[in-house]
Amino acid sequence: MKVEVDFWQVLPVALALVLVIEGLLPFISPQRWRQMVAAVAQLEDRLIRNVGLGSMLLGLALLYWVQ
């Protein structure tokens, strides 16, 4: 059975989940989060871009797998 899903209904839910997940670490451990942000600030742009690319590709793979 195929279920039709409206993109504009799912997008706000997905964004809300991202915000909840992103807010977990600063809420649970603000000191650890501050240390992590400081460490990331010291990384080279190339490495940060590669991590971002890897994250996007993993997200796309998960979306493909779920669908």
- Whole-model pTM? 0.70
Residue 40's pLDDT is 95
Please answer whether residues 25 and 33 qualify as being in contact, where contact means their C-beta atoms are separated by less than 8 angstroms. yes
pLDDT tens sequence across 13-64? 999 999 999 999 999 999 999 999 999 999 999 999 999 999 999 999 998 9
